[in-house]
């Protein structure tokens, strides 16, 4: 097509309305007679729940409903997260709507209130009384694994999930090693810190169907909500909204089960929006991990063995912890060729805030550990860290630690070198501070686990005036998940972007497209849309071929026209072709389904073979300035280099990389979620500090387009992978500057100063 849309940085479908404030986010929706919901929560970490008394709250004028566990038709569900295949076993946990018989964490919801004003709802909560018998809390995930530790959840012990990798023989591997380094790494909780807290509005139709308009990454949760209410799946409908940031937190059910219950009980519209404090204190976080690593190499710089033990704290309910753990396990050895690998990983339950999905999904945690180990080995071997990596990168046709033989390009050498040289000439440090540089690489999967047998559907319809409608149940978290479908249709069918109307996230009226998680939407819904577009295109070309009397191979689609490629003046308008087809009774709509690569469900906890459709590879280089006295770090430059397969919209791709990078900067250096005995101590953004614009330098983004992705046009996924690699790159740079290596994130000035003071040749 002459006017190519694919590969162009055209403005996003939703950019204008977002910038001007016209776009409606979840909390902007209202309905006449709407009530306000509020969640009443436990103020204790662990207890036996003897009783809940709600009479006084119910009698308060203006209160329409108070709901506790006994009012919930189905209060205890198997947590399943939208997958349609039954994978059973250790992947499933308990999803409990409201606390029942026990309290497992501080802030666990006990009751729901709907009242005529937010103030009344708040007052009603204050009138609810609970009888509790406190229990000793279990707060330390490593200790919680010990036999005899008090059982936090429904499982026989506190280990919610356990995975293994067994490749070669690590004992033999370490015997061959000339150098072995060991290290224990700790990575912290992280809050998603999106602009839009959890929010939704639910109402009941005259036939009892429950409608929920909610900011969610997974509209397929209508199934769980229907089960909670004991309704047929067809009687619960999700209407998604444009999402003001998700980052994985809106992958689990947030407010929608509460909304559904309150709307079902009151038969009135109910709105529920969390305050920032509720969002920060009580909703899921990124998993903290403790990671014990042992890595061995020969003196000529070949990795021979890696052994790792990963322990994640999954909090009081398992939520997505088994899945996150699986990803961390698959990532544990990184994109390196290591003949002997042994990994044991555990998700452990404690009486702490629930941890679940967060951009990167276990990969950033493991990446920090394996890259730290690589850096330490390079030092000891006296090898340039880049060169040491180059000797060990996995090559096309070689197998990951899981044994999956990878047949696509792995351009890590090129990526890391580009990132490194992109830093340019060394700057000079201000005021006696020390300059340092570091580089690190990483990988991140895109697409859901292949044994989940993932699918997506998309629908396109051509109008008689040559405009088009797309319907696709794709939640848009701001990454252009919706917009890119328009670009695909514009490209393939010659319809101008501004004449395409997109409908997303209606669980009953838009074809189900699956979750906006796992960096899967471009690959899944992009491919489904491309498939539908190609089918329509075929119909258009056949008709145009007949009208122009040329074979269809000679035809191309341009803007609003179909032309003969060799003599472009010869052609026919799209409108004419469409009208002919319509007149002849041809269908001008197509719904298509894309199926991801499928594999079998793992037979045991030993992970073997392909687990993901593909990986995205990238590298970061950073230059920092460190003040040895105060431990303060200033980041001067960051260069990111990623193989994105194909950048369908470079501006969006760069935005994703910059955003992931900044979130990773926060993870590495800033975000310090204080938790004391299972209670989060950072109720606002005045205590939980994420980086501001002035804390982050300009980020140079280098895109490599290998065309080797599973997505449309060879694209790879880029939503989550940029979260991987930046933390070790920064830690390496800090070490280069001041000679101390911090193994616990975030690397605060306090830790740097302390480490410098403790250096043998320590400054002061």
Q: Count CA atoms within 13 Å of residue 648 on its CB side.
A: 28
Name which of 123 and 560 has its Cβ closer to another protein. 123
CB of 683 to another protein, least distance (A): 8
CB of 47 to another protein, least distance (A): 25
CB of 281 to another protein, least distance (A): 12
CB of 663 to another protein, least distance (A): 15
DSSP string covering 716-754: PP-SSGGGSSHHHHHHHHHHHHHS----BSS--HHHHHH
CB of 670 to another protein, least distance (A): 6
How far apart CA 103 and CA 446 sit, in angstroms, is: 36
Residues 615-634 that bind another protein (CB under 8 A): 627, 629-632
CB of 635 to another protein, least distance (A): 10
Per the listing, tokens 């941890």 go with: 355
CB of 438 to another protein, least distance (A): 20
How far apart CA 262 and CA 165 sit, in angstroms, is: 45
How far apart CA 504 and CA 471 sit, in angstroms, is: 6
**Residue 180 φ then ψ, to 5°:** -130, 130
Name which of 301 and 659 has its Cβ closer to another protein. 659
Residues 424-453 that bind another protein (CB under 8 A): 431-432
Q: Is residue 314 within 8 Å of 347, Cβ to Cβ? A: yes
Name which of 395 and 681 has its Cβ closer to another protein. 681
Residues 663-692 that bind another protein (CB under 8 A): 670, 672, 674, 681-682, 686-687, 689, 691-692
Secondary structure of residue 187 in the 3-state scheme: strand
**Residue 560 φ then ψ, to 5°:** 65, 10
Which of residues 379, 695, 706, 741 is near another protein by CB under 8 A? 695
CB of 352 to another protein, least distance (A): 18
123 near another protein, judged by CB under 8 A? no
Name which of 389 and 433 has its Cβ closer to another protein. 433
Sign of the CA dihedral with 295 first, then 718, 195, and 65 last: negative
Residues 728-757 that bind another protein (CB under 8 A): 748-750, 753-754, 757
DSSP string covering 242-281: --S--TTTTTS--SHHHHHHHHHHHSS-EEEE--HHHHHH
Alpha-carbon distances, residue 570 vs 465, 544, 545, 563 (angstroms): 21, 11, 11, 6
CB of 463 to another protein, least distance (A): 46
Name which of 39 and 77 has its Cβ closer to another protein. 39
How far apart CA 294 and CA 533 sit, in angstroms, is: 51
CB of 190 to another protein, least distance (A): 15
User: Per the structure block, which two tokens stand in for 568?
Assistant: 């472009």
Name which of 49 and 742 has its Cβ closer to another protein. 742
Q: Is residue 170 within 8 Å of 342, Cβ to Cβ? A: yes
Name which of 30 and 681 has its Cβ closer to another protein. 681
CB of 7 to another protein, least distance (A): 37
Residues 268-307 that bind another protein (CB under 8 A): 277
Name which of 161 and 636 has its Cβ closer to another protein. 636
Q: How many CB atoms lie within 10 A of CB 195?
A: 9
Name which of 603 and 693 has its Cβ closer to another protein. 693
Which of residues 382, 603, 694, 761 is near another protein by CB under 8 A? 694
Binding footprint of another protein, residue count (CB under 8 A): 27
Name which of 556 and 696 has its Cβ closer to another protein. 696
- Beta strand 633-643 with 699-704 is parallel
Alpha-carbon distances, residue 670 vs 418, 665, 673 (angstroms): 27, 7, 9
Please choose, from the candidates 579, 596, 597, 601, the residue with its C-alpha nearest in 3D space to the C-alpha of residue 588: 579
Alpha-carbon distances, residue 205 vs 237, 260, 264 (angstroms): 10, 12, 10
Size (the chain), residues: 764
Name which of 432 and 585 has its Cβ closer to another protein. 432
CB of 680 to another protein, least distance (A): 11
User: Per the structure block, which two tokens stand in for 159?
Assistant: 């280990």
Name which of 142 and 757 has its Cβ closer to another protein. 757
Please choose, from the candidates 27, 65, 477, the residue with its C-alpha nearest in 3D space to the C-alpha of residue 273: 27
Q: Is residue 333 within 8 Å of 367, Cβ to Cβ? A: no
Residues that bind another protein (CB under 8 A): 277, 431-432, 627, 629-632, 670, 672, 674, 681-682, 686-687, 689, 691-695, 748-750, 753-754, 757
């Amino acid at each position: 097509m002459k006017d190519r849309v694919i590969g162009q940085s055209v403005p996003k479908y939703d950019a204008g309305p977002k910038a001007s404030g016209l776009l409606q986010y979840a909390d902007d929706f209202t309905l006449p007679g709407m009530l306000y919901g509020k969640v009443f929560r436990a103020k204790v970490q662990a207890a036996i729940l003897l009783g809940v008394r709600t009479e006084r709250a119910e009698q308060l004028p203006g209160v329409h409903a108070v709901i506790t566990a006994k009012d919930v038709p189905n209060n205890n569900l198997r947590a399943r997260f939208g997958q349609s295949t039954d994978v059973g076993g250790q992947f499933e946990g308990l999803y409990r709507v409201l606390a029942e018989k026990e309290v497992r964490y501080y802030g666990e919801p006990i009751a729901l209130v709907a009242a005529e004003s937010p103030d009344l709802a708040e007052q009603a909560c204050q009138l609810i009384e609970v009888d509790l018998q406190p229990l000793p809390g279990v707060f330390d995930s490593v200790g919680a694994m010990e036999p005899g530790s008090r059982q936090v959840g429904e499982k026989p012990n506190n280990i919610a999930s356990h995975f293994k990798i067994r490749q070669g023989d690590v004992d033999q591997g370490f015997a061959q090693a000339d150098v072995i380094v060991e290290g224990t790494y700790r990575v912290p909780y992280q809050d998603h810190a999106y602009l839009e807290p959890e929010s939704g509005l639910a109402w009941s139709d005259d036939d009892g169907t429950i409608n929920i308009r909610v900011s969610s990454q997974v509209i397929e949760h209508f199934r769980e909500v229907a089960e909670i209410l004991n309704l047929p799946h067809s009687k619960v409908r999700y209407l998604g909204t444009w999402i003001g940031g998700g980052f994985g937190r809106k992958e689990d059910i947030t407010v929608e089960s509460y909304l559904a219950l309150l709307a079902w009980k009151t038969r009135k519209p109910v709105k529920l929006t969390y305050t920032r404090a509720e969002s920060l204190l009580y909703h899921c976080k990124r998993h903290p991990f403790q990671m014990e690593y042992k890595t061995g190499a020969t003196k000529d710089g070949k990795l021979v063995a890696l052994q790792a033990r990963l322990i994640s704290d999954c909090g009081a309910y398992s939520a997505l912890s088994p899945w996150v753990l699986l990803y961390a396990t698959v990532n544990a050895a990184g994109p390196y060729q290591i003949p002997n690998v042994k990994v044991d990983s555990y998700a452990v339950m404690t009486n702490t805030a629930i941890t679940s999905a967060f951009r990167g999904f276990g990969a950033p945690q493991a990446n920090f550990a394996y890259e730290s180990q690589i850096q330490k080995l390079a030092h000891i071997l006296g090898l340039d860290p880049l060169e040491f990596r180059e000797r060990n990168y996995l090559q096309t046709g070689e197998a990951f630690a899981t044994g999956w033989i990878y047949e696509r390009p792995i351009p890590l050498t090129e990526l890391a070198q580009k990132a490194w040289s992109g830093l340019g000439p060394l700057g000079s440090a201000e005021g006696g501070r020390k300059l340092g540089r570091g580089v690190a690489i990483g990988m991140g999967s895109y697409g859901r686990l292949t044994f989940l047998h993932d699918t997506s559907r998309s629908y396109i319809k051509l109008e008689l005036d040559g405009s088009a409608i797309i319907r696709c149940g794709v939640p848009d978290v701001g990454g252009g998940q919706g917009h890119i479908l328009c670009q695909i249709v514009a490209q393939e069918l010659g319809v101008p972007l501004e004449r395409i109307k997109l409908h997303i996230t209606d669980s009953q009226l838009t074809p189900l497209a699956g979750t906006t998680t796992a960096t899967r939407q471009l690959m899944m819904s992009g491919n489904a849309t491309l498939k539908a577009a190609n089918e329509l295109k075929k119909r258009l070309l056949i008709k145009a071929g007949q009208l122009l009397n040329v074979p269809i191979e000679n035809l191309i689609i341009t803007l609003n026209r179909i032309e003969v490629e060799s003599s472009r003046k010869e052609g026919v308008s799209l409108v004419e072709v469409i009208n002919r087809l319509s007149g002849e009774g041809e269908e001008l709509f197509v719904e298509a389904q894309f199926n991801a690569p499928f594999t079998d469900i793992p037979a045991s906890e030993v992970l073997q073979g392909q687990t993901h459709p593909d990986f995205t590879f990238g590298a970061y280089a950073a230059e920092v300035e460190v003040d040895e006295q105060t431990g303060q770090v200033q980041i001067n430059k960051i260069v990111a280099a990623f193989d994105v397969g194909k950048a369908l919209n470079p501006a969006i791709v760069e935005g994703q990389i910059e955003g992931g990078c900044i979130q990773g900067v926060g993870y590495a250096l800033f975000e310090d979620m204080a938790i004391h005995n299972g209670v989060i101590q950072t109720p606002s953004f005045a205590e939980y500090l994420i980086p501001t614009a002035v804390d982050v330098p300009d980020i140079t983004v280098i895109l490599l387009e290998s065309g080797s992705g599973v997505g449309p046009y060879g694209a790879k996924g880029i939503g989550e992978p940029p979260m991987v690699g930046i933390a070790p790159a920064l830690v390496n740079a800090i070490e280069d500057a001041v000679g101390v290596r911090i193994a616990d994130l975030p690397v605060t000035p306090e830790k740097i100063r302390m480490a410098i003071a403790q250096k043998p040749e320590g400054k002061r």
